[in-house]
Amino acid sequence: MKLITISGPPSSGKTAVIMKVIESFKLQKIKVGVVKFDCLLTDDDLLFKKHGIPVLKGLSGALCPDHYFVSNIEKCFNWGLEQGLDILISESAGLCNRCSPHIKDITAVCVIDNLSGLNTPKKIGPMLKSADIVVITKGDIVSQAEREVFAAKVRQVNPTAKILHINGLTGQGAYELTMLLMESDDVDTLEGKSLRFSMPSALCSYCLGETRIGEKFQVGNVRKMDV
């Protein structure tokens, strides 16, 4: 089975892109399942189910979403194997821009949209910078010039990635992405694999439920601004 991690800022079009990619895979008789990671709530699993796509849902709730991801991905991977999938796609949003679910030797995709602003590529960390494939969405509603400038900004922060433009509404470009994804290696297990980059860490009183503001309540890994 191939595993693909797809991440990207909220509302960048990850789910739409995945739906179109799976439609295209179905025509090629390739069996794809999805594991959808989110924080508070998602109905996207129903959307996948409606289309007969095997899906798992993981809500991280009060935990750091990406820590939750990495603690669960192996289990999800094994589920995918049991389902007899050819490809398992994991979808997660990079919420703090410093997180990244990308795993070494596993194809990593970052979805980012043309409307998010020209400075956005700079602001996103390893999720974008260490991705193998960058998918740019919402190109159908901005000018050619903005698309070109935006792609150049993405190229600046990730000079090695393959950049694809996909229209999440019509699916234009999705077929091309399936071709790229098929080039990924099959893997038998995630055991022993590691993340491409360490996740942001914190272990302070607030991690443990502290809510009060003030120096005396702050214990552990606490950092202060220069003011």
Say how far apart CA 82 and CA 92 lie, in whole Å: 22
User: For residues 33 and 107, which CB has a smaller minimum distance to other proteins in the complex?
Assistant: 107
Identified binder of other proteins from the candidate list 45, 79, 197, 204, rule CB under 8 A? 197
Say how far apart CA 126 and CA 146 lie, in whole Å: 24
**By CB under 8 A, residue 122 contacts other proteins:** yes
Q: Which stretch binds other proteins (CB under 8 A): 3-11, 78-86, 123-131, 205-213?
A: 123-131
Say how far apart CA 63 and CA 77 lie, in whole Å: 21
Q: In this structure, which amino acid lies at residue 201?
A: S
Please report how close the Cβ of residue 152 comes to other proteins at its closest, in angstroms.
4
Identified binder of other proteins from the candidate list 60, 90, 107, 130, rule CB under 8 A? 130
If DSSP codes are grouped into helix, strand and coil, which group holds residue 168? Answer: coil
Bridge partners of 58?
37
Provide the token pair at 39. Answer: 């924080």
Please report how close the Cβ of residue 44 comes to other proteins at its closest, in angstroms.
25
**By CB under 8 A, residue 33 contacts other proteins:** no
Say how far apart CA 170 and CA 160 lie, in whole Å: 27
Identified binder of other proteins from the candidate list 62, 160, 192, 224, rule CB under 8 A? 160
**By CB under 8 A, residue 158 contacts other proteins:** yes
**By CB under 8 A, residue 71 contacts other proteins:** no
Q: Taking the CB of residue 55, how many other CB atoms lie within 10 A of it? A: 19
**By CB under 8 A, residue 146 contacts other proteins:** yes
Q: Which residue has the tokens 């860490």?
A: 201
Identified binder of other proteins from the candidate list 51, 63, 74, 148, rule CB under 8 A? 148
Say how far apart CA 138 and CA 148 lie, in whole Å: 13
Identified binder of other proteins from the candidate list 100, 107, 120, 137, rule CB under 8 A? 100
Identified binder of other proteins from the candidate list 172, 184, 205, 218, rule CB under 8 A? 172
